[in-house]
A = this chain, B = another copy of it.
């Protein structure tokens, strides 16, 4: 599952090299989206399906989403602009974005502070989503979770006579956003999860720890029904979790040996960085 990603090194060079065009305020954001895909494929969270999006820095009514394609192969050139209002591409250029883009659009509509959304079919959370047991925060690094994570039941959201498990229109997307509520994560029964954050980095780190938390809870429950989850004083305060360390760790795991050797080591351990653990 782990792959070296030589491509990561050459990202973001070409645009600035050519002359006098105004810099794209979404350029770094697109880099983060591509890195997010690399990380989430490498960590086994994205496979054939799943998608990462970010709200545009240029226009909060637009989000950035790759065309429909295998997650492992996404590059900046694949990223299109999509309208929050109706989840349709601003200019499709003859390309499609994913049929479940309504997940993203409706969450951006309902949660103005959300800057990034990840939808995945993670095998770590699906078993728990099938049971009547709620995911609870059990692992220290998952202190961003609420005391109970909601589990979206598509049957309650489907139109009369409706079919399928997918969130393929605005109504279903809005129902998912409602179940998500103010939380960073919503499980989706038999389907996977959707994670949101204030940045692509934050949502990626959250997605990885949602996976770990679900795995730990599931494995503990197979041993004993009486497991102890974290209580309110054990959850994170606003911005308490410095996500830079795990983001860097996950990112470095995707690098090829040459890119690894080129890591800027002077950044480590600086007293001014906010490193909490």
Interface, chain A (partner B; CB < 8 A): 1-2, 47-49, 66-73, 78, 92, 94-100, 121, 123, 126-128, 130-133, 138-141, 143, 154-155, 158, 161-166, 168, 189-192, 212, 215-224, 226-231, 233-234, 237, 240, 245-246, 248-250, 252-253, 263, 265, 268-271, 273, 275-277
Q: Which residue of B lies closest to A212 (CB)?
A: B123
**A48-B246, A121-B141 as given contacts; A130 in contact with B220, CB under 8 Å:** yes
Once the chains bind, are B1 and A275 in contact (CB under 8 Å)?
no
Once the chains bind, are A216 and B123 in contact (CB under 8 Å)?
yes
Once the chains bind, are A70 and B249 in contact (CB under 8 Å)?
yes
**A72-B249, A73-B252, A218-B219 as given contacts; A96 in contact with B140, CB under 8 Å:** no
**A130-B216, A275-B99 as given contacts; A165 in contact with B249, CB under 8 Å:** no
Q: Which residue of B lies closest to A230 (CB)?
A: B190
Once the chains bind, are B131 and A224 in contact (CB under 8 Å)?
yes
Number of copies: 4
A132 CB to nearest B CB, Å:
6
A109 CB to nearest B CB, Å:
21
Please indicate the chain B residues that have their CB under 8 angstroms from the CB of A223 in the complex.
127-128, 131, 133, 218, 221-222
CA distance A165 to B142 in the complex (A): 11
Once the chains bind, are A140 and B127 in contact (CB under 8 Å)?
no
Once the chains bind, are A224 and B191 in contact (CB under 8 Å)?
no
Once the chains bind, are A130 and B121 in contact (CB under 8 Å)?
no
Please indicate the chain B residues that have their CB under 8 angstroms from the CB of A219 in the complex.
127, 218
**A190-B140, A233-B162, A237-B163 as given contacts; A47 in contact with B249, CB under 8 Å:** yes
A138 contacts which of B2, B67, B68, B130 (Cβ < 8 Å)? B130
Sample of 5 further A-B pairs with CB below 8 A, known A68-B268, A96-B269, A123-B215: A69-B269, A121-B140, A127-B220, A154-B234, A165-B234
CA distance A78 to B267 in the complex (A): 12
Once the chains bind, are B94 and A126 in contact (CB under 8 Å)?
no
A88 CB to nearest B CB, Å:
12
15 A-B residue pairs with CB within 8 Å? A73-B263, A73-B265, A73-B268, A95-B271, A99-B275, A99-B276, A127-B223, A128-B220, A130-B228, A130-B229, A139-B191, A163-B233, A164-B240, A166-B277, A190-B228
A184 CB to nearest B CB, Å:
18
Q: Which residue of B lies closest to A94 (CB)?
A: B271
CA distance A273 to B154 in the complex (A): 26
